[in-house]
Structure 1
């Protein structure tokens, strides 16, 4: 074999070895962050957005212009606050408890804030605050009842509301602790100039009745 043929053979042999032994590159595995690139790491998929706070239904004015707020149309907030067997608000113990209403006022004006409640001794600290809207409130001490079945009506003061719109009304006890029985039967906004009933009220098996 000539030297030329020998060198050509070695060259071809080397080329064949180069083709069959190409170097391998090690590819690092993908990280979890890359595989999960479509998920925002700040998003907690196990915790859905909390439901918005619900408000009680709006209460409208009566034909005489007054607004009567029943415990049945209130939203009660705070542990221990609930309706009793007479559908009255009972269980006031702390300043964190609230009874909340919404009213739709169509006739602006000045209103007396009245409350019907049963408040028995020996407590002298049954002091209630009524907030209407963002900037109005009245506060006074609830009158004591003759017994644990008698409702007493307390006029807490006057509030002037100068715009026809929806107002939020809430009550809270600012005189605590309460000793004895205390329940709320009704809250009213009465147009100023109209006198509240002075007749004593009592409970019967058929409900609440004014005396003769």
Structure 2
């Protein structure tokens, strides 16, 4: 039986919607390289982890399928405040929360952050949220996030964004509309990388 619509149906706005996969560790990234239209990176991704682990795994997966590596789209934790220490504390809270997940340990191992992660997880077990944030080192913040004053963030944006084909700026939800607006105002004029998404 063939059913005909009684009202005209518009064609889809975009018939070729790309399907992206998320992945953190090499096997999942390889799977994304084999079958997806792109990899969505985790907010804990760093430039070094992308260069040493992510891009090679993405290429390996793609090579197994006889195709080019798909693009990498990355979440970049971004916190902006006129007081740079406030912005770094916001970033530390997100980093601490994400660091409680054992699946992401490979990123921390890559950077030698296991001491900080052990302290974060110990504080987590005891419900000590300030202790979790305090255990995040300045090196972790600077390596993982883009956080500081508007000038700090603008100065480091291109260096951090350059490792991705497309960037998804990620101000944490708890900063509220004002915090999100600070990120937009700070980087609104930035030239975002243009990928294939």
Q: TM-score range by the shorter chain?
A: under 0.3
Q: TM-score, normalised by structure 1?
A: 0.24
Q: TM-score, normalised by structure 2?
A: 0.26
Comparing both structures, which one devotes a greater share of its residues to helix?
Answer: 2
Comparing both structures, which one devotes a greater share of its residues to strand?
Answer: 1
From the CA coordinates, give the structure whose radius of gyration is larger: 1
